[in-house]
Structure 1
Amino acid sequence: MSVDTDPQAQHVADALETIASHLHPVPSYDVDHHPVPTGREEVWRFTPLQRLRGLLEAEGTGARLTWDVTKPEEVSLSQVATEEARELGGHAPGDRVAAMAALHAPAVDLVEVPADVSLDEPVVMDLRGSSLDEVVHGHTVVRIGNHAKATLVMRHRGSATHAALMQVIVGDGADVTFVAVADWEDDAVHAGQTSFTVGRDATVRTVSVSLGGDLVRIAETAEYEGPGGSIEQFGLYFVDAGQHIEHRLFVDHNQPRTRSNVDYRGALQGEKAHSVWVGDVLIRKNAEGIETYESNKNLLLTDGCQADSVPNLEIETGEIEGAGHASTTGRFDDEQLFYLRSRGIPENEARKLVVNGFFLDIIRRIGVAEVEEPLRRAIEEELEALDTPSTTAATTA
């Protein structure tokens, strides 16, 4: 006699056996497995919960962001039911907001790139919000076929209170670049999870950009479906007065001979500008021969800013190629400023050049002209507010 087991219950049971860290709670679609946080939990202690505008409790309203998609004809875009989306795979929600997004999204948007296809043009998904009056839940699944090559760009604009779950499933041997740009109006709130499942011998490069919004909190996870997978995660954020921008990354090296590299950079200016970057890499006992490095750099442009930067490594085996992390938070490099000023460049212009150079190394790695140039212009617009030099102070956890 055989006994049927609930797949979701078994998934939670397996996760409980293999994950025991306050830095990355057990993933589950069940909202009850993610209690309403109090702010004392490690994964929520930096987030101003009172500014989430109901994302932790709001019921579904059926509201959606407006989608505008430009894609090559080989790529398909459809909507599927929630249960069907779960069967496709992908990392389950790791916090309450992502679980609420999966539960209440009116439909799941499915983007598929067939196997063995090499796209000549990027897939561009332009999402817009137009109201703060109701919570908008969104759930998107992106599936990349085996040995496909593709670049995907997702932009968020406008005004919204948005809870999101994004699952990117990359097939064996595929080569994928995924760019996410949060260029919201200053009143928007956006929180959720983006997860990457990396196939055997697949190559994934991600770029996460946060420029606007009142509060943006994105948890980004990566895990591997087989040996040989590689992921590079790049990010940049520009935080203005009163904004809270939070990026939380978790790389789960659950397969041998896998690679990961994380490089996030942020600039802050204005009173109560607050950034949070938390990076965590878990190297499991079976993940022999892996190599990983994570880095976060923050540049404080004025007084009154706060940057919290917390890198973590959890290592369960000594049979690895290499593992490390770095974090720096500080003001302008006085030697760089002195050199530029000695060449006749005014101090304020010299500061702008330093910030542009700070971000340029990330922007040029995107490799998508349609994204790179608008980002450069957006950074220049942010720097226009930097009119007066000032000393700075930093907070590093």
Structure 2
Amino acid sequence: MTDPQTSLTTDSATLAEELFAPGVGAQAGPPTTPASDTGTAGAGPGSHSHGGPAPTGSPAERFTSADPDDFPVVTGREEQWRFTPMKRVRPLLEGADSDARLELTSDLPDGVELTTVGADDPLLKGLPEPVDRLAALTRVRAGGATVVRVPAEAQLDRPVTLSLRGTGSDEVVWGQTVVQVGNFAKATIVLDHAGSAKYSGGVTVLVGDGAQVELISVQEWEPGTAHGGQFDAVVGRDATFRQVVVTLGGDLVRLVSNVEYAGPGGTAELSGVYFADETQHQEHRLWVDHATPNCVSNVVYKGALQGEQAHTVWVGDVRIRPAATGTETYELNRNLVLTDGARADSVPNLEIETGEIVSAGHASATGRFDDEQLFYLCSRGIDAETARRLVVRGFFADVVQKIAVPELADRLMGTIEQRLGALPGLEEQDVEAGELQPA
């Protein structure tokens, strides 16, 4: 096996699969019995629903609006908000107007345009609508958007990089970013968030027909940061959209990712890595709306948690509408709990309203290290702390390897390894010796 400090390997990913304790992480989700006065999501002739009653994270019809007043005031009892700590998100939900901005620096390949548009620009009128009150507030308060335009048939020689840094202002920062990629272009977009802020941002990626687009969003905020955001992707005919979300920093990060298809033959791959430390809350919600024939979606999110009151939430919703024949979809969430006192909530939802599909499925698992397997590694001369690092590295490897920017992938894995060594309680946990069975 190669040096774990310098590279990611297929072997390390395989090792993680072998060391993940079998039989853990029974699929989590809302009850399958409808609540009183509610219908079942997706109910109807020929429909199938994994997700329970309609007012869950996977409703039969999802309410959207660009007007914040169309949404009720958030109390924390709503299904969309029940996992979110209200005290931390309240400064964003109060919706105070602000002129504060993140510091923006950019690296643009030749041919890429970076500009700003006002709130009345026709481009913004045609974007997917906000799905909750915070996203609607963001659309109104941002007062316009930063727009990245990649021309049709462009083949960029390097990623488009937007570095967004919080300056520590007490005011809420509102932001909106729109990425337009022309037909048959190929582009990688990196949004790199750092610094300290109270930030609510919207990101929309418009993928032209036949285009190939990768969006990489990194949340490496400093302590004290609260970040709420809505990510939208509109995938054109025969286009491919890949999104990788990496969440490592901040006190509260709550990101909602939505995908819709503008034509048949589209593919969307949504991947994510998150690592929550003591008291951090990291929440990722996804919605993939299959309303067009012959489209593909694949979701893979992996998270690790360590420390008291570390909390992660993953909610994955996929809806296959009656017209979406030939759909192929799968979603997977796995969580690795490294210490006592951490909590991972995982809720996959799948609604199928036509039987004419290729395949559909979902899986969710949450578990701890298998002490017997760790003992096996230790018996081969690997110390307990190194063994744990190998497992975590392998656990994340298949997702991190999808990042098309090697130096960024190396940086993020280095941050994860630093976090692993920062908690004394991790190396203090003994590996229990078990009886080894012959191979």
Deviation at 1:60, TM superposition (A): 1.6
Match of 1:14 in 2: none
Distance 2:208 2:141 in 1: 28
Query: Alignment partner of 2:402: what SS?
Result: coil
Tell whether 2:292 aligns with 1:255.
Answer: yes
**Contact 2:110–2:156 (8 Å) recurs in 1:** no
**Contact 1:223–1:251 (8 Å) recurs in 2:** yes
Q: Summarize deviations over 1:324-352 as a string: whole Å, max 9, x none.
A: 00000000133431231111111111111
Distance 2:117 2:342 in 1: 43
Q: Summarize deviations over 1:64-123 as a string: whole Å, max 9, x none.
A: 101010010210000001221555633211111111111011431011100111111000
Query: Alignment partner of 1:377: what SS?
Result: helix
Distance 1:131 1:160 in 2: 5
Task: Number of aligned residue pairs: give it.
Answer: 372
User: Higher mean Cα deviation, 254-263 or 372-381?
Assistant: 372-381
Match of 1:381 in 2: 418
Please tell me the residue identity of whatever aligns with 2:151: P
Structure with larger RCO (C-alpha < 8 A, sep 6+) = 2
Structure 1 vs Structure 2 CA RMSD: 1.4
Which structure 2 segments of 5+ residues have no match? 1-53, 432-439
User: Higher mean Cα deviation, 82-91 or 185-194?
Assistant: 82-91
Please tell me the residue identity of whatever aligns with 1:200: R
Which structure 1 segments of 5+ residues have no match? 1-19, 392-397
Deviation at 1:57, TM superposition (A): 1.6
**Contact 1:303–1:390 (8 Å) recurs in 2:** no
Match of 1:94 in 2: 131
Please tell me the residue identity of whatever aligns with 1:191: G
Identity of aligned residues (%): 54
Match of 1:362 in 2: 399
Distance 1:153 1:244 in 2: 23
Distance 2:403 2:233 in 1: 17
**Contact 1:62–1:106 (8 Å) recurs in 2:** no
Tell whether 2:376 aligns with 1:317.
Answer: no
**Contact 1:89–1:169 (8 Å) recurs in 2:** no
Query: Alignment partner of 1:52: what SS?
Result: helix
Q: Summarize deviations over 1:177-235 as a string: whole Å, max 9, x none.
A: 11000000011000020111100100111100000000000000000000000011110
Trace 1:278-297 onto structure 2 (pairs within 5 A): 278-297=315-334
Please tell me the residue identity of whatever aligns with 1:241: E
Deviation at 1:38, TM superposition (A): 1.2
**Contact 1:238–1:267 (8 Å) recurs in 2:** yes
Relative to the length of structure 1, the TM-score reads 0.91
Please tell me the residue identity of whatever aligns with 1:266: G
Query: Alignment partner of 1:63: what SS?
Result: coil
Query: Alignment partner of 2:92: what SS?
Result: coil
Query: Which of 177, 189, 210 is residue 226 of structure 2 equivalent to?
Result: 189
**Contact 1:53–1:161 (8 Å) recurs in 2:** no
Tell whether 2:379 aligns with 1:342.
Answer: yes
**Contact 1:203–1:231 (8 Å) recurs in 2:** yes
Tell whether 2:112 aligns with 1:75.
Answer: yes
User: Higher mean Cα deviation, 230-239 or 87-96?
Assistant: 87-96
Query: Alignment partner of 2:378: what SS?
Result: helix
Q: Summarize deviations over 1:6-43 as a string: whole Å, max 9, x none.
A: xxxxxxxxxxxxxx764264121111122221111111
Trace 1:45-84 onto structure 2 (pairs within 5 A): 45-84=82-121
Tell whether 2:273 aligns with 1:233.
Answer: no
Distance 1:159 1:107 in 2: 22
User: Higher mean Cα deviation, 100-109 or 217-226?
Assistant: 100-109
Deviation at 1:373, TM superposition (A): 1.1
Match of 2:3 in 1: none
**Contact 1:283–1:317 (8 Å) recurs in 2:** yes
Query: Which of 297, 303, 308 is residue 271 of structure 1 equivalent to?
Result: 308
